[in-house]
Structure 1
Amino acid sequence: MSLALPLQRTEVLVIGAGPAGSAAARQLARAGFDVLLVDQQPQGRDKICGDGLIPDAHKALARLGLLEQVMALAQPVSHVGCIAPRGGRIDVPGELAVLPRRELDNLLCQAAQDAGARFLAPARFEKPLVNEQGRVCGAQVRIGDDVHEIACDWLLLATGAVPKALIAAEMCERHTPSGVALRGYVHAPSMVGRIKAMEVVWNKAVRPGYGWIFPAPNDCFNIGVGVTDSHKAVSGKGSKKELNLRAIFDAFCANYEPAAALMREGKLLGELKGAPLRCTLDGARWSRPGLLVTGEAAGSTYSFTGEGIGKAMETGMLAADAIIQGKAKQWNDAQLREAYEQSLRALKPKFDLYQRANRVNAAPWLADLLIWRAKRSPRLLARMSGVLRETSNPGNLVSLKGFSRLFLE
């Protein structure tokens, strides 16, 4: 979108047009705010992701008024297939779908514009503008070889897992990611109907991570591996554990026959691509005067599963809510920031529970035990389904108390 630069002013400047940034921009624009949404890539950019839409994503999309549009494009899925190292399997029912991020992010970005937000791309965030009182009052963005200044009342950083923008804004507390993932798309018509669930696979070959295969639209499949806790934090910077994602991916395909069949019978579309993850609402300051951090930049991805689309949209809308309420209630800067941070603190226990459940990735025999028992216990299967719906505690499934209950239900 062509804008009158270099001089530009807006009420809210949103950096990053992924699920968090676009959700925030749409909500703010719908509330009557002047919003400028900026991204360093053109609309419709790709994003390394499993593409799974679990119930929290459905809920967020419904609030945005976009669920029907997304589901018209997505591949609906009725179950998550959990596969243990010894081959045991349990299919956990849920409200699920798969849509490649290129399509989802394009739809969300366009929806923000349809609501009245302006979009500027490609434009790269350089650093915030700060006034004499130390409050963020805008940002420098680079367009081609030129740097422009854009003034704003509030700056939202929704810049994802790469920490460069957080560092420039002095918001980064952890330079390295919480995890890493590698994924590819495979066109395989022969596998349609043979892989119907969103399959998540644990075995020793992919330890300390997991593998996945998700059925996508147009006879395609999203296949990948993820490793959470991939970096050990050392004085905020951290160091990478000894792991090779490509080797883990190859081991996944060698040790899980459906993955081997998919790669053997299908055609890999493009290259395998890797990306960092920021999890557990850790690793970044959430706010400073005039600035809010949201989405995966704030750590909105769940450890254990690596799911982050729903929580990215949810945190983006929480940032928008704080700004909307702040204007309506005439809050000062500190009151608005506290309202936003309080809403994130309310989410934090959920993230902590997923971190507890993450022990399954390091000790995959736990998956053997859980799946063996779930096949014999309708109540345990219902609790596992409740984890998807966020009505059950994922950490309790692998706690000492949880194990004792496995043999009493």
Structure 2
Amino acid sequence: MSADSWPVSCQVLIIGAGPAGSAAARWLARAGKDVVMVDQQPLGRDKVCGDGLIPDAHQALERLGLLDRVMARAQRAAHVGCIGPRGGRIDVPGHLAVLPRKVLDEILNLGAQEAGARFIAPARFDAPLEDAQGRVCGARLTVNGESREIQADWVLLATGAVPKALTAAGMCERHTPSGVALRGYVRAPSMVGEIKALEVVWCKPVQPGYGWIFPAPDGSFNIGVGVTDSHRDLAGKGQKKDVNLREIFDAFVRHYPPAQRLMAEGELIGDLKGAPLRCTLKGARWTRPGLLVTGEAAGSTYSFTGEGIGKAMETGLLAAEAVLAHGAEDARVRATYETALRSLQPKYDLYERGNRVNRFPWLADLLIWRAQKSPRLLARMSGVLNETSNPGNLVSLKGLTRLFLE
């Protein structure tokens, strides 16, 4: 981009063009705001993710007017297949789909541009600009090796789980992630139709976490492992536990026959890739004057399920709505956004309680065994998927007692 065409100012500058940033950009631009969205990577970037679109993602995409475009490219599924350490299985119904993030993020990004947002990439966020009172009023970026500045009424930080941008903006409270994941794509036409559900597998080799196989478009599958509580939190800095994701992935493949067959018969597309996760709306300040943190940078991923796409978009929309509601009234924008996030916090806390299943895989065996005999319990598990049931209740002492009474 030439110096003549560089935008010197905008109303809202969004750093990060993933689901949170693009959702906020589309919502703001459709309302008439002058929006500039920047990202370190160009359009069509890859992103390590399970790629599962569960009901909250469908709802956010529908609000954005992009659900039909996404579903036209996605692989649909009707169930999450929950498989316990002893091989028991229950299929939990839901509105589900799988679409690689490379494609999903491009659809969301183009949707934001279609609404009027300007997109600049590759552009690295270096630091916020501040006025004389210390309020954020834009950002300093590196573009093609040159330093550039953009003035903005508001800056939205939607930079994902890597803490570098959060640290540069003075918003990082925990430098290490809540969990880590490793995934790969395998093309295996011979197994199309055999794995139809989003399969989630709990077993001791992956404790405290789970393995997955999700059917993706074009005869391919997303296979991976996620480990929760991968770092000990020591005075906000954290310390990595003894976690070797590749060894855990290989152990999952050996443990679960469909995974073993998938890796044997299929063709690995590219390399296995790892990524951090930031969960439970913790680890970062949400706001400072002139700046809102949203998406996974704010910890929008659920610790129990590892689901983050829908919640990233939801928090991006909440940030956009706060700006639209109160404009230049800094304190009111921040208070509105923080109140909206706090209203989500109890649900995140409940999903953290549900995370016991990842720590103690035998709980998955118990839940699956009872759900096979109890339509009511299966309905409650479907409610967890649809966010209408409390996952923490399923694994509380009271909830476990109820399992034997239903």
The answer as to whether partners of 1:2 and 1:120 remain within 8 angstroms in 2 is no
CA distance in 1, matches of 2:101, 2:271: 16
The answer as to whether partners of 1:157 and 1:294 remain within 8 angstroms in 2 is yes
1:378 is matched with which residue? 375
2:357 is matched with which residue? 360
Identify which of 384, 399, 402 aligns with 2:399.
Answer: 402
1:81 is matched with which residue? 81
1:210 is matched with which residue? 210
Within 5 Å, give how 1:296-375 maps onto structure 2. Answer: 296-327=296-327, 332-375=329-372
List 4+ stretches of structure 1 deviating above 3 A: 1-7
Give the 3-state SS of the residue equivalent to 2:8 in structure 1. Answer: strand
Within 5 Å, give how 1:93-242 maps onto structure 2. Answer: 93-242=93-242
CA distance in 2, matches of 1:53, 1:19: 12
State the shift of 1:297 in Å.
Answer: 0.2
Aligned residue type for 2:20? A
Give the 3-state SS of the residue equivalent to 1:335 in structure 2. Answer: helix
Q: How many residues align?
A: 406
Q: CA RMSD in A?
A: 1.0
2:42 is matched with which residue? 42
The answer as to whether partners of 1:5 and 1:148 remain within 8 angstroms in 2 is no
Change (3 A) 1:3 1:111: farther
Give a deviation string over 1:328-358, Cα, whole Å, max 9, x none.
xxx6211110000000001111111111111
TM superposition score normalised by structure 2: 0.99
Change (3 A) 1:7 1:195: closer
Change (3 A) 1:312 1:235: same
2:25 is equivalent to residue 25 of structure 1: yes
State the shift of 1:2 in Å.
Answer: 6.6
Give the 3-state SS of the residue equivalent to 1:63 in structure 2. Answer: helix
The answer as to whether partners of 1:7 and 1:148 remain within 8 angstroms in 2 is no
Give a deviation string over 1:194-228, Cα, whole Å, max 9, x none.
11100000011111211000000000000000001
2:255 is matched with which residue? 255
The answer as to whether partners of 1:74 and 1:217 remain within 8 angstroms in 2 is yes
Identity of aligned residues (%): 73
State the shift of 1:317 in Å.
Answer: 0.3
Give a deviation string over 1:217-249, Cα, whole Å, max 9, x none.
000000000001110110111001111000000
2:390 is matched with which residue? 393
Give a deviation string over 1:82-118, Cα, whole Å, max 9, x none.
0000000000000000000000000000000000000
Change (3 A) 1:5 1:237: farther
Aligned residue type for 1:350? K
CA distance in 1, matches of 2:266, 2:3: 44
CA distance in 2, matches of 1:168, 1:228: 26
Give a deviation string over 1:141-184, Cα, whole Å, max 9, x none.
00122111100000000000000000000000000000000000
CA distance in 1, matches of 2:213, 2:4: 45
CA distance in 2, matches of 1:36, 1:235: 36
Aligned residue type for 2:78? S
State the shift of 1:304 in Å.
Answer: 1.4
CA distance in 2, matches of 1:321, 1:33: 12
2:47 is equivalent to residue 53 of structure 1: no
TM superposition score normalised by structure 1: 0.98
Give the 3-state SS of the residue equivalent to 2:97 in structure 1. Answer: strand
